[in-house]
Chains A and B, each alone.
Chain A
Amino acid sequence: GDSVTQTEGLVTLTEGLPVMLNCTYQSTYSPFLFWYVQHLNEAPKLLLKSFTDNKRPEHQGFHATLHKSSSSFHLQKSSAQLSDSALYYCALSDRTGNYKYVFGAGTRLKVIA
Chain B
Amino acid sequence: DTTVKQNPRYKLARVGKPVNLICSQTMNHDTMYWYQKKPNQAPKLLLFYYDKILNREADTFEKFQSSRPNNSFCSLYIGSAGLEYSAMYLCASSRLGHYEQYFGPGTRLTVL
Contacts and interface: CB of A to CB of B under 8 A. Distances in A.
Interface of A: 4, 9, 32, 34, 36, 41-46, 49, 89, 93, 98-106
Given A93-B99, A99-B99, A105 B106 contact: no
Interface stretch (B11-19, B35-43, B66-74, B76-84): B35-43
A105 B40 contact: yes
B99 A106 contact: no
A99 B94 contact: yes
A42 B103 CA distance: 9
A58 B28 CA distance: 28
Contacts of B48: 100
A81 to B, nearest CB: 23
Contact of B42 (A41, A98, A106): A106
B99 A49 contact: yes
Contacts of B42: 4, 89, 102-106
Given A99-B31, A99-B94, A36 B45 contact: no
Contacts of B40: 9, 105
A43 B99 contact: no
A43 B105 contact: yes
Given A49-B99, A105-B40, A43 B45 contact: no
Contacts of A102: 42, 45
A103 B44 CA distance: 7
B101 interface: yes
Contacts of A100: 33, 45, 48
A-B interface, 3 closest residue pairs, ranked by CB to CB distance from nearest: A103-B42, A44-B103, A43-B105
Nearest to A44: B103
A105 B42 CA distance: 4
A49 B82 CA distance: 37
